Amino acid sequence: MNQLDALKLHTTVVADTGDFKQLAQFKPQDATTNPSLILKAVQKADYQPLLLGTVRRFKDRPLDEIMDRLLVRFGCEILSLIPGRVSTEVDARLSFDTPATVARGERLIELYQAEGVHIDRVLIKVAATWEGIQAAEQLEKRGIHTNLTLLFSFCQAVACGQARVQLISPFVGRIYDWYKKSAGSDWDEAAHAGANDPGVKSVREIFNHYKHFGIATEIMGASFRNVGQITALAGCDLLTISPDLLAQLAASEAPLARALDASAAAALDLPAAQFDEAGFRFALNQDAMATEKLAEGIRGFVVDAVKLEQLMLAAQANA
């Protein structure tokens, strides 16, 4: 049995890609997208017709609506190839605007429903800012399920659990990146590998807290840099993995055992935790890594959303 098949015994495997033509070979349950992945996809010849076709069909609509229609088009293509759910992201420029995030999430769902997609097959991705978490809570109350992304800290995870969001995406690789960069020449790769990886440790802390206190929110580890981070989180609810790393797992016959266990977490002696807005903002402020990576992540998604808009404007001019 290869490592990918072994991982599927313990964890729901999710493909982290906008390149849906790669999905069939890995047979993931779910798939996730974001502006950066869609931008990367539409620059490939195989996917340019999707961009051009969407822009031509809706060229007289506002640019933000065309963007959402393009995201939904990709999502529908992905859903035709997987049995589970696709995550589609709200514009990162709305990360600090609760009402606008709610409105955009509702529109994305309406567009999916117009294509015949059931509401339970879509997760609306929202940045895990305080405002984003509040928006997600409102969407969940309306039956729209959410995926809280750009999650780097325990306080973000606790607040998401309080809001009863469907799923969170802690970013393992970006946490690892920050600590490695911060340590500079003092970084010891071997000492921080596997279970000792700072990103892995962050997800394990969240997993143990959720399972100990019976929090139903799903945990989906994301943003992996190497196979070791993935195998160290076998047993996590879900793991969203790039096609390159999925291929590495599929090519390896090395043994893979469960690393996270909900029943073991339930037996731990852990303190309760909860955050109001002031407590959340202070806790996030005290975590330099999470503060920096959240802001950086939002900026990065905004840059790629703008680039995607520029491609759409160019297509619109030629339509």
Q: How many CA atoms lie within 13 A of 249 on its CB side?
A: 31
- Nearest-angstrom CA–CA distance, 201 and 194: 9
**Residue 194 contacts residue 144 (beta carbons within 8 Å):** no
Whether 125 is a known active-site residue: answer: yes
Tokens of 243: 């096609």
CA distances from 118 to 32, 44, 80, 101, 127 (A): 17, 29, 12, 21, 23
Single-letter code of the amino acid located at 134: Q
For residue 60, what is the DSSP state? Answer: T
| Choice among 27, 59, 125, 181 that is catalytic | 125
- Nearest-angstrom CA–CA distance, 205 and 209: 6
Tokens of 255: 């043994």
Give the residue numbers marked as catalytic: 125
